[in-house]
Amino acid sequence: MPQTIELNKSQESDLEQILNELIYALKKTYSEEDLLALSLQVVGESGKRTIKSKKEVVTGLFKTIGKYSGKAFKFSKNKYFKYRKNGIEAEFAKDLDVTIKGIENSPEALLKLGNSVKDKTSDFYHNFLMKSKEDKIESVAVSLLAILIFFAAAGGEDFEGGIPDSDLNLGIGYHRHWLSHSIVIGFFVEFLMRSGVEVINVSYKNLPENHNPFWDKAYYYINKHEGVAVGAMWAGISAHLVKDSGILGHGVKPYTGLPFEMSMEAHKGLFLANGAASAMFVTHKNKKDV
């Protein structure tokens, strides 16, 4: 049953002020400033921040790979010389003994891990209780925002639809196109999200000096939690592509639009690789001051 929202005089006055200030800011932003220069500023800043966030993740990944690759090479080299020096049978017996002890100690290790998770959960809970009422509301609101964006990007509870399946709007023949079912679509959507934030930031600077406090809170909230929204979007795309890979037991429709033929296993692997790559970009650090 439809309901009507009734506003009191004070709320009507605030709403009218917010609307008038928005019109004022938009007129000032898009008339006194050169529209082309403003557009280039928004595009440039959004693109720079999108690329920077991905560069940090990829650089960190290669550093980690290099670190562990070096350790793996050193370990393999030492193990090779030990096998040559001590003999295959003797060294294998030592490795087997270490493995058996590790298995025997695994329940204790799992218990320590469980206790660690429990302690961290307890600390998080108590830290949440120590927050002010406004901070608690903000934390809950951000969590709900992330959940909503995740499912919107993934395509609901069954991960059908969402951002990747937007290619269906072009016709069934374009479904599972490599542009929409890869990290390419994620980069495009992130760029649009950051562009929207940048437009808000530019308009915010042109608000009247004595504007409604609503704008300050909205500006702070949007910029502070921009990374959460972007990360949730990437998580949704990742979940969708992982499901499309068939690793969860679902059927797999191959990619379309590829300039070359691939086996079905290769298609599955490509879906999974793009899903894993998207998952890399879930964590974001907002370095922009607000």
* Residue 265: CB atoms within 10 Å: 10
Two structure tokens written together for 216: 């300050």
Cross-strand bridge partners of residue 256: 177
Backbone angles phi, psi at 262, to 5 degrees: -140, 155
Quote the pLDDT of residue 151. 92
Mean pLDDT of the chain: 78
Rounded CA gap, 124 and 95, in Å? 40
Band the pLDDT of 236: cuts 50, 70, 90: very high
Band the pLDDT of 237: cuts 50, 70, 90: very high
Band the pLDDT of 289: cuts 50, 70, 90: very low
Quote the pLDDT of residue 259. 86
Quote the pLDDT of residue 153. 93
Averaged pLDDT for residues 149-168: 90
Quote the pLDDT of residue 152. 92
The whole-angstrom distance between residue 2's C-alpha and the CA centroid of its chain comes to 36
Percent with pLDDT over 70 in the chain: 70
Domain ranges of the chain: 133-280
Two structure tokens written together for 126: 């108590």
Q: Name which of 16-30, 158-172, 218-232 the model is least confident about.
A: 16-30
What is the enclosing helix (H) or strand (E) of 285? none
Answer yes or no: is pLDDT of 288 > 60: no
Quote the pLDDT of residue 240. 93
What is the enclosing helix (H) or strand (E) of 31? helix 9-31
> For the segment 199-212, what is each residue's pLDDT rounded down to a tens digit?
888 888 888 888 98
Helices (H) and strands (E) in the chain, counts: 8, 0
Averaged pLDDT for residues 132-147: 82
Quote the DSSP letter at residue 14: H
Band the pLDDT of 162: cuts 50, 70, 90: very high
Rounded CA gap, 10 and 7, in Å? 8
Quote the pLDDT of residue 48. 75
Answer yes or no: is pLDDT of 19 > 80: yes
Quote the pLDDT of residue 287. 46
- Based on its alpha-carbon atoms, the radius of gyration of the chain, rounded to whole angstroms, reads 26
pTM over 0.75: no
Helix/strand/coil for 191 = helix
Helix/strand/coil for 256 = strand
Two structure tokens written together for 138: 């903000």
Name the nearest CA neighbour of 272 among 185, 183, 190. Answer: 183
Structure-model confidence comparison of residues 112 and 215, the more confident one: 215
Averaged pLDDT for residues 84-89: 76
CA angle 21, 24, 28 (to 5 degrees): 140
Cross-strand bridge partners of residue 177: 256
Band the pLDDT of 117: cuts 50, 70, 90: low
